[in-house]
Amino acid sequence: MESPHVYDKAKYHYETVEEYGLTEDHADNHTVFFLRWLIERGLMSEEFVDESATILEKFRTGEAGIHDVYGWWDCCLIDDMLSDEGNDFAMHYFEFNNGKYLHDYAETLQRELPSEYHVDYSEENYQCIKAVI
C-alpha cells in the first residue's frame, strides 16, 4: 500500500512561527486559505466529506472556522482528503517543491511583512488569494 502524499502539516512550521513570536495558527494560515478554496469548489474526497460532515456543517453555518476544519484533520493536508481533480490541481499548484502557490501567496498577501508566516487569516486576505488561485 502506498503512503499518502502529505502536502503540508502545521507541525512542520511550529518552530519557525515560535521563532517569530507568532501563535501556532500562523503555522496553518498558508494552508487553510488553500483548503477553504478546495472545499468551496467541491474538490474534496468523499471520505473527507463524510468524515468531516459535522465540522463542515458548522463551518458552512459560521459556527466553526477554517482553522477548526484543518484542526479536525490534525492540521494536515494529505492526498486522501482531496478528490482526483483536487489532487491533480494540488500536485501542480500547491506542491511546495514545484508548485506556484507559495510564490503567489507571498506576492499577494505577504507584501511588506517580514515573512509569509506573518500573514493573518482574514476574510479580506482570503478574497485576495482566492482571486489568484
Domain-wise residue ranges, the chain: 6-132
H or E element, residue 75: none
pLDDT of residue 4: 87
Tens of pLDDT, residues 16-28 = 999 999 999 999 9
Residue 2: band (very low, low, confident or very high) from pLDDT cuts 50, 70, 90: low
CB contact at 8 A, 84 and 43: no
pTM, rounded to two decimals: 0.94
**CA–CA dist 45, 47 (Å, integer):** 5
* φ, ψ of residue 43 in degrees (nearest 5): -100, 20
Tens of pLDDT, residues 74-113 = 999 999 999 999 999 999 999 888 899 999 999 999 999 9
